Amino acid sequence: MKTVTKRDAIPLHLLRRKRVAAYARVSGPKDAMMHSLSAQISYYSDYIQRHMEWEFAGVYADGAATGTKDNRPEFQRLLADCRAGKIDIVITKSVTRFARNTVTTLKIVRELKLLGVDVHFEKENIHSVSGDGELMLSILASYAQEESRSVSENCKWRIRKMFEEGRTTVTSMLGYRQVDGRLYMVPHEAAIVCNIYADYLSGMGIQRICKKLREQDVFLSPNGIRNILSNEKYTGNMILQKTYTLDHLSKKKCINRGERTFYFVERSHDDIISSEAFAAVQAEIARRAALQRPKKPSAPSYPFTGILRCSKCGAAYRRKHNAAGTKYEKVVWICPTYNDFGKAACDSQQIPEDILYEKVMESGRKLDEISLIHVPGKNRLIFVCENGDVVSLEWHNPSRRQSWTPEMKQAARERQLQKLEERRRST
Do both 222 and 93 map to the same domain? no
Asked if 78 and 21 touch (Cβ cutoff 8 Å), the reply is: yes
Nearest C-alpha neighbor of 43 from the set 102, 97, 91, 10 = 91
Give residue 372's domain range. Answer: 308-396
Do both 122 and 16 map to the same domain? yes
Whole-number pLDDT of residue 283: 93
Integer Cα distance of 149 and 155 in angstroms: 10
Q: What is the CATH number of the domain that holds 123?
A: 3.40.50.1390
The answer to the question of residue 196 being in a domain is yes
Whole-number pLDDT of residue 157: 66
The answer to the question of residue 282 being in a domain is yes
The answer to the question of residue 316 being in a domain is yes
Whole-number pLDDT of residue 368: 85
Instruction: Please state the pTM of the whole predicted model.
Output: 0.41
Domain end: 98, 117, 149, which one?
Answer: 149
Q: What is the CATH number of the domain that holds 275?
A: 3.90.1750.20
Do both 82 and 181 map to the same domain? no
Distance of CA 78 to the CA centre of its chain: 13
Integer Cα distance of 104 and 112 in angstroms: 12
Integer Cα distance of 228 and 210 in angstroms: 12
**CB under 8 Å to 20, separation ≥6 — which residues?**
48, 51, 54, 55, 56, 57, 87, 88, 89, 90, 91
- Give the N- to C-terminal CA distance of the chain in Å, as an integer: 83
Whole-number pLDDT of residue 62: 85
Do both 383 and 269 map to the same domain? no
The answer to the question of residue 417 being in a domain is no
The answer to the question of residue 321 being in a domain is yes
H, E, C per residue of 114-151? HCCCEEEECCCCEECCCCCHHHHHHHHHHHHHHHHHHH
Whole-number pLDDT of residue 226: 93
Do both 22 and 109 map to the same domain? yes
DSSP H or E segment with residue 27: none
Q: How many CA atoms lie less than 13 Å away from 285 in the CB half-sphere?
A: 15
Whole-number pLDDT of residue 12: 46
Asked if 93 and 25 touch (Cβ cutoff 8 Å), the reply is: no
Do both 281 and 313 map to the same domain? no
Integer Cα distance of 12 and 32 in angstroms: 46
Do both 172 and 237 map to the same domain? yes
The answer to the question of residue 154 being in a domain is no
Number of domains in the chain: 3
DSSP states of 33-98: HHHHHHHHHHHHHHHHHT-TTEEEEEEEEESS--TT-S--HHHHHHHHHHHTT--SEEEES-HHHH
Do both 139 and 179 map to the same domain? no
The answer to the question of residue 299 being in a domain is no
Do both 171 and 92 map to the same domain? no
Whole-number pLDDT of residue 347: 86
Integer Cα distance of 362 and 359 in angstroms: 5
Q: What secondary structure letter does DSSP report for 184?
A: E
Do both 24 and 97 map to the same domain? yes
Q: Pairing state of beta strands 263-265 and 238-240?
A: antiparallel
Write out the chain's pLDDT in tens, 427 residues: 555 555 554 454 455 789 999 998 877 665 556 677 888 888 899 999 999 999 999 999 887 666 455 678 888 899 989 998 999 999 998 877 787 666 677 788 888 888 889 999 888 888 888 866 666 666 665 665 666 566 666 676 666 677 666 677 676 789 999 888 788 899 999 999 999 999 999 999 999 999 999 899 998 889 999 999 998 889 988 877 776 666 555 567 777 776 777 777 788 888 999 999 999 999 999 999 888 766 666 656 788 988 898 877 778 899 999 888 887 788 999 998 888 878 887 888 899 999 999 999 998 888 888 888 888 878 889 888 887 777 888 888 875 555 566 776 777 778 887 877 787 787 7
Q: In what order do the strands lie in the sheet with 308-310?
A: 308-310, 370-377, 380-385, 390-394
The answer to the question of residue 427 being in a domain is no
Report phi then psi at 31, rounded to 5: -55, -40
Do both 132 and 205 map to the same domain? no
Do both 57 and 173 map to the same domain? no
